[in-house]
Amino acid sequence: MSLKARLDERCGSELDLVKTVLAVSRIPYGRPSVLTPDAVLDEWHGTCSTKHLLLAEMAREEW
């Protein structure tokens, strides 16, 4: 499943670009055990850097 699909599922609806950025910004701050976009979604927390990685990867996948 793509990162975007996983975030959509977690949020309960299909998100456009603006809503995706807002949803990622609302993920609580905290260092995931592995510094990857997958870990941010798995553990539902991330640092500024890992959230940026998540957004960049979703942008490459979807837009």
Residue ranges covered by each domain of the chain: 3-62
Q: Supply the pTM of this predicted model.
A: 0.91
pLDDT band at 63 (very low <50, low <70, confident <90, very high): confident
Nearest to 43 by CA among 27, 32, 29: 32
pLDDT tens-digit profile of 5-49?
A: 999 999 999 999 999 999 999 999 999 999 999 999 999 999 999
- Give the tokens for residue 10: 């977690």
